[in-house]
């Protein structure tokens, strides 16, 4: 079978053409039958007129013969009546018999040749018509002989006798013509009925065949496909529709099966990602699953660090750990930065060519060294915070087609969130381990630091030192104090947080803290009356001191610091501390509440994480915004929680 005949659209067109052709043929044949019936009716009418004139000729002759005139007056009367009627009847018979003999009825019917179908005698009737014409010609010659040559006084009595005597030869010839026509009309009618029945049977059989074909080729595959769609829509992603044939439905079934396979793969992938695990096991899951959806032979995860650089944490090549070692890259003016900013998958169809465009594209050149030529960058993270970039790469340039990019576009957010959660859990686990280790080390270091501090105090008080030595002792004491503050922050951040809540107004607590500030005039304070709420005053006092100290240290000496405390509707109390100065870099602002992230040269990077932890424990939130134009603003929001509803006693 030619390939084009396999297409459903071709088969449907053929079926429609067959039905249309059959309908057109039936219509044309019916019109022809109608025309033929009209023609036959006209012929029968002409034959009936012929028989009528023949019978009239005979009856008039018999009447004249029986009542022949006995005198001249009667003869001349019959000459005017009978002879004129005889001539008229003979003319009519001549015209009709001649028309039948020549098979040309335009004159007797008085119609033009272009006015529909002209009557035409069937072949058998034409022979009968010619025999009738011969009989009539012989009859007319003998009749003329009987009438005589003198038409002024024709021999009417002889003519009447001849007509009566010879009627037996003319009447059967006319009857034969009429009978022949009737038989031919009957035969044509039977043939038309037979053909009409045949066409009807063919039309019914064709319609039944088309319906059966439509059921087999369209309805049944459609029902099977709809059932498959229903099963997949209900979550049965492993269902596959049997591929039946090579046509549009077969292609649709193939596309559906590929879709369900992708859905099953994505569902399995997301399920395994949701089950958790470390970063390496997550990459192994991706390495095992994604190749069924897209060409992937290298997968890597780059995580944004506290220093603003992006670090290659782990990579797999052909399903095995790629020993690339520790690699760190600056994101400024790179495609990695573009991916993080746009939060959309980024396709690099030719890593080699793209890597030569800028000296900043160091990571692309590292991919090229690993033998990869095509790559996709996928941002990973959840919410508004991105943890890094997931990289999919292939050995061959232009491996990723539009369908692969659309697939990643559709599942990119799910993958990004899942991987981001994995990175966060891994980072949290690492930080927890670091915290436990740091807490233990801090306890071990505090006692030696106390001894060193006491020794330095003893030297400074009891020993007479040179200016240089005294300066060194003072510097050492300051460093000891800084280490003690660092250890205190580490212990505070690492140990479990418990709250001793009391009903107190945060605005009143802010006033108390501001009274202990050294440079009180630098602060522009606006405090509105605030209701009391259930908070731990010592913890909130620590939060306020930290935020005020940060604002004071970051603000230029001549600039004022704005402090605002007010209720926000009936559910929240808001405290804003705003200072001028240089803005916090964006790479640090995004990670401002992470441990050890700081823009200060001598900062511990634990102050704001401790603030964030305390505020969250109170059910509130803290937001840091910073621009060069407006400066830096810290917004602290605490929920209003009356003592009665919280189950606490006011103290």
How many whole angstroms separate alpha carbon 417 and alpha carbon 408?
A: 13
**Under 8 Å CB-to-CB from 228, ≥6 apart: which residues?**
239, 240, 241, 253, 256, 260
Stretch 432-445: mean pLDDT, rounded?
59
CA dist., res. 537 & res. 503, Å (int)? 9
pTM over 0.75: no
Indicate whether 98 pLDDT > 50. yes
Question: Which residues lie across from 561 on neighbouring strands?
Answer: 523
Share of the chain above pLDDT 70, in %: 78
Residue 434 scores a pLDDT above 60:
no
Per-position DSSP letters for 404-431, written without gaps between them: HHHHHHHHHHHHHHHHHHHHHHHHHHHH
Mean of the pLDDT values across residues 140-167? 81
Q: Comparing 84-93, 242-251, 400-409, which segment has the lowest mean pLDDT?
A: 242-251
Per-residue tokens: 379: 């941002």
**Maximum mean pLDDT: which of 158-172, 228-242, 358-372:** 358-372
Asked if residue 275 has pLDDT above 80, the reply is no
Among 534, 517, 547, 566, which residue's Cα sits nearest to residue 611? 547
Is the pLDDT reported for residue 574 higher than 90?
yes
DSSP labels for 213-227?
HHIIIIIHHHHHHHH
Q: Model confidence at 573, in pLDDT bands (50, 70, 90)? A: very high
Question: Sorting pLDDT into bands at 50, 70 and 90, what band is 564?
Answer: very high
pLDDT score of 542 more than 80: yes
- What mean pLDDT comes out for the span 364-379? 89
According to the model, what pLDDT value does residue 651 have?
A: 34
Residue whose entry in the numeric block shows the structure tokens 């595959």: 221
pLDDT at 648: 42
State residue 646's pLDDT score.
Answer: 44
List domains and CATH numbers for the chain. 21-183 (1.20.120), 277-419 (3.30.450.40), 502-646 (3.30.565.10)
Q: How much is the pLDDT for 419?
A: 63
Indicate the pLDDT class of residue 147, thresholds 50, 70 and 90. Answer: confident
Tokens of 297: 């032979």
Q: Say whether pLDDT at 439 is over 60.
A: no
| pLDDT, tens digit (0-9, with 9 covering 90-100), for 444-479 | 666 676 777 777 776 767 666 777 777 777 777 767
For 11, 76, 141, 152, 155, the CA distances from 149, given in Å and listed in that order, are 80, 17, 12, 9, 9
DSSP-assigned letter for residue 3: G
CA-wise closest residue to 259 among 234, 285, 232, 286: 232
Provide the pLDDT for residue 469.
Answer: 75
Q: In this structure, what is the dihedral angle of CA atoms 424, 546, 310, 326, given to the nearest 10 degrees?
A: -80
Distance CA 293, CA 261 (A): 9
Given a cut of 80, whether residue 483 has pLDDT beyond it is no
Structure letter (DSSP) for residue 569: T
Token pair 């660092």 is found at 486
Q: Is the pLDDT of residue 47 over 90?
A: no
pLDDT of residue 433: 52
CA distance 530 to 527: 8
> What average pLDDT does the segment 404-409 reach?
74
Element (H, E) at 598: none
Burial per residue of 497-514, b for 16 or more beta-carbon CB atoms within 10 angstroms, e otherwise: eeeebbbbbbbebbeebb
DSSP 271-328: HHHHT---HHHHHHHHHHHGGGTS--SEEEEEEE-TTS-EEEEEEEETTEE-----EE
Burial (CB < 10 A; 0-12, 13-18, 19+), residue 454, is exposed
Of the spans 319-328, 363-372, 511-520, which averages the highest pLDDT?
A: 363-372
d(CA 49, CA 93): 9
Average confidence (pLDDT) over 330-335: 86
Q: 103-115 burial by CB neighbour count: b if 16+ within 10 A, else e?
A: bbbeebeeeeeee
Output the pLDDT for position 649: 38
- Greatest mean pLDDT among 125-129, 442-446, 493-497, 515-519 lies in 125-129
Residue 67 has pLDDT above 60, yes or no: yes
Say if residue 172's pLDDT is above 70.
yes
Q: What confidence tier does 273 reach under pLDDT thresholds 50, 70, 90?
A: low
Higher pLDDT, 409 or 358: 358
Q: Read off the tokens for 9.
A: 């659209």
| Stretch 493-497: mean pLDDT | 63
Contact (Cβ atoms closer than 8 angstroms) between residue 597 and residue 610: no
pLDDT, tens digit, 9 for 90 and up, residues 607-651: 888 888 888 888 888 999 988 888 889 999 998 877 654 444 333
Averaged pLDDT score across all residues of the chain: 78
């Amino acid at each position: 079978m030619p390939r084009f005949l396999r297409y459903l659209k071709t088969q449907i067109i053929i079926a429609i053409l067959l039905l249309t052709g059959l309908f057109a043929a039936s219509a044309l044949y019916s019109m022809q039958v109608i025309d033929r019936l009209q023609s036959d009716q006209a012929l029968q009418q002409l034959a009936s007129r012929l028989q009528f004139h023949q019978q009239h000729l005979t009856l008039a002759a018999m009447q004249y013969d029986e009542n022949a005139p006995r005198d001249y007056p009667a003869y001349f009367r019959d000459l005017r009546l009978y002879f004129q009627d005889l001539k008229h009847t003979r003319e009519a018979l001549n015209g009709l018999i001649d028309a039948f003999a020549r098979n040309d009825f335009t004159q007797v019917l008085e119609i033009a040749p272009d006015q529909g179908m002209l009557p035409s005698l069937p072949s058998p009737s034409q022979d009968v018509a010619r025999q009738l014409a011969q009989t009539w010609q012989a009859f007319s010659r003998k009749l003329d002989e009987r009438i005589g040559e003198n038409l002024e006084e024709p021999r009417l009595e002889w003519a009447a006798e001849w007509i009566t005597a010879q009627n037996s030869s003319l009447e059967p010839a006319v009857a034969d013509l009429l009978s022949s026509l009737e038989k031919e009309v009957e035969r044509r009618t039977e043939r038309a009925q037979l053909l009409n029945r045949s066409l009807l049977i063919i039309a019914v059989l064709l319609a039944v065949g088309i319906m059966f074909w439509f059921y087999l080729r369209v309805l049944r595959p459609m029902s099977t496909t709809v059932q498959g769609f229903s099963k997949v829509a209900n979550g049965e992603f492993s269902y596959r529709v049997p591929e039946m044939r090579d046509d549009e439905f077969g292609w649709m079934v193939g596309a559906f099966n590929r879709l369900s396979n992708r859905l099953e793969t994505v569902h399995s992938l997301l399920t395994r990602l949701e089950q958790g695990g470390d970063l390496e096991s997550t990459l192994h899951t991706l390495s095992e699953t994604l190749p069924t959806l897209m060409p992937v032979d290298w997968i890597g995860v780059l995580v944004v660090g506290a220093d603003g650089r992006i670090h290659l944490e782990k990579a797999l090549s052909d399903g095995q750990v790629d020993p690339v070692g520790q690699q760190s890259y600056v994101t400024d003016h790179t495609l990695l930065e573009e991916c993080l900013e746009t939060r959309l998958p980024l396709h690099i169809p030719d890593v080699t060519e793209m890597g030569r465009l800028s000296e900043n594209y160091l990571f692309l050149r590292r991919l090229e060294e690993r033998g990869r030529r095509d790559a996709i960058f996928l941002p990973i993270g959840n919410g508004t915070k991105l943890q890094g970039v997931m990289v999919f790469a292939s050995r061959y340039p232009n491996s990723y087609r539009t369908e692969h990019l659309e697939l990643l576009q559709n599942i990119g957010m799910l993958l990004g969130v899942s991987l981001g959660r994995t990175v966060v859990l891994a980072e949290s686990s690492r930080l927890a381990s670091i915290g436990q280790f740091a807490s233990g080390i801090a306890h071990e270091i505090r006692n030696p630091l106390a001894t060193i501090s006491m020794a330095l105090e003893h030297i400074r008080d009891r020993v007479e030192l040179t200016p240089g030595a005294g300066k060194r002792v003072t510097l050492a004491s300051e460093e000891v104090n800084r280490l003690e503050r660092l250890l205190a922050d580490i212990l505070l951040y690492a140990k479990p947080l418990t709250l001793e809540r009391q009903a107190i107004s945060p605005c009143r607590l802010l006033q108390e803290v501001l009274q202990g500030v050294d440079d009180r005039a630098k602060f522009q304070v606006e405090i509105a009356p605030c209701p009391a709420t259930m908070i731990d005053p010592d913890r909130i006092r620590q939060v306020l001191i930290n935020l005020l100290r940060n604002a004071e240290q970051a603000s230029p000496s001549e600039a004022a610091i704005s402090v605002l405390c007010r209720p926000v509707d009936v559910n929240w109390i808001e405290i804003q501390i705003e200072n001028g100065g240089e803005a916090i870099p964006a790479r640090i602002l995004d990670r401002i509440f992470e441990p050890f992230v700081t823009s200060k040269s001598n900062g511990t990077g634990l102050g704001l994480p401790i603030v964030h932890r305390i505020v969250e424990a109170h059910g509130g939130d803290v937001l840091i915004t910073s621009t060069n134009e407006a400066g830096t603003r810290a917004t602290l929001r605490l929920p209003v929680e009356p003592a009665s509803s919280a189950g606490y006693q006011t103290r």
